[in-house]
Amino acid sequence: MINYDYTIDLSDKLLAFIRYVFKNHAEFRHSCLGHYAKFSPLWGGEPLSKKQTVNFSDGSQPINLCSPIVLAAGANKNAKDINAYANLGLGGITVGTATRHLRIGNMHKPRVGLDEFNRLIYNSMGLNNYGIEKIVERVQKQIDNARKNNFAVGISIAETPGIAEAKRLQDLLETFSIAYNTADYLEVNVSCPNTGEERLDLDTAFMAQTFDAFNEYKKNAPIRKAIYAKLSPDLTDKQLLSLLELLSRFGVNGVILGNTYPSEKLFYSLPVLNDKGTSGGISGRPLYENTFRKTVLAKKHFPNFSVISCGGIDHGLKVRDLLNEGADFVQVYSVFAFRWMAGQKMMREFSCPSNP
């Protein structure tokens, strides 16, 4: 059994102190990652210079990355100062999740919490974002610089929660088409547990309709872009395999395994964050075992499908093990709350030849 624990060094203790100081300002603390990225050259942060490429058999535009570790959706919801995040040892970023129009998200506060002992974050933000047009406008201004550094920029989109049944497909297709030309890759978030609405990944008929429409759009577009579906980590093996089968029929390039884990299915007792009486979605360390297992399962049955592993990845050896199982790259988020310069540290662990 590999020991994925890491030594808490002085800089991690400083981060713990900052968490403590701002313990009553959960969302401010959450938004600090952007400032931290911007100022990180002061303590050695800089873009990595390695280049790796993810290729697609359907001729979709390859994704160039300068590290196999990418920032997951939700950390930079509104595409602010994208290029600063390259200083964090990351190979790219997914911005959003964006909906068709601005959303303020859930009304209750706080909407984010931390469990220090389990190194996890729970949240019930509810897809707050400025809307796809504003987000794309910002990405357009920054993406040329990002590409120069092989820093990939994906855009995550989702259905507007609560939209009338008859407008669902149109809403998603509009958001998708606005994002399509600008992003290096598209992520369709079909598994957000925090909006009070049914998740798309449990509605197979609508999933088929949606991805069929995206596929048609892509066939007629001047450039083919990679399309990923972000699935929930609580799917059973059977549900996951049947979804993969469905997605592969509609030209989807891959999946992100997975999103934040619906808290009502865990045995943790965490403070309630929403009017459903749950603490929303759980992210961070406890998710890893499931992430690994689902990656192995997906690659075993669908070897040609691109898999981006996400959930509980907080050590370079986890990155290495997931890539060895066939993941194209990984996405991380919560680790930045617990490890100072997490990207650089994980890249060192990942590249160290003396590791087991």
Residues that bind ligand FMN (CB under 6 A): 30, 72-74, 77, 97, 112, 121, 123, 125, 127, 156, 189, 230, 259-260, 283-284, 287, 310-313, 332-335
Closer to ligand FMN by Cβ: residue 45 or 154: 154
Could you tell me the CA-to-CA distances from 340 to 7, 14, 93, 275 in Å, in that order? 12, 8, 18, 34
Q: How far apart are CA 155 and CA 79, in angstroms?
A: 9
Q: Is residue 258 reached through a cis peptide bond, with omega within 30 degrees of 0 on the bond before it?
A: yes
Q: How many residues does the chain have?
A: 356
Q: Are strands 120-123 and 92-98 parallel, antiparallel or unpaired?
A: unpaired
Q: How far is the CB of 100 from ligand FMN (least distance, A)?
A: 15
Q: How far is the CB of 322 from ligand FMN (least distance, A)?
A: 12
Q: How far is the CB of 284 from ligand FMN (least distance, A)?
A: 5
Q: How far is the CB of 261 from ligand FMN (least distance, A)?
A: 8
Three-state secondary-structure class, residue 235: coil
Which residue number places its CB atom closest to ligand FMN? 74
Q: How far is the CB of 174 from ligand FMN (least distance, A)?
A: 19
Closer to ligand FMN by Cβ: residue 30 or 294: 30
Closer to ligand FMN by Cβ: residue 48 or 346: 346
Closer to ligand FMN by Cβ: residue 259 or 263: 259
CA 23, 24, 30, 32 dihedral sign is negative
Closer to ligand FMN by Cβ: residue 83 or 123: 123
Q: How far is the CB of 14 from ligand FMN (least distance, A)?
A: 21
Closer to ligand FMN by Cβ: residue 112 or 255: 112
Nearest to 172 by CA among 203, 213, 137, 224: 213
Name, in order, each residue with C-beta under 8 angstroms of 52's C-beta and a sequence gap of 6 or more. Answer: 64, 65, 66, 68, 91, 329
Q: How far apart are CA 37 and CA 89, in angstroms?
A: 10
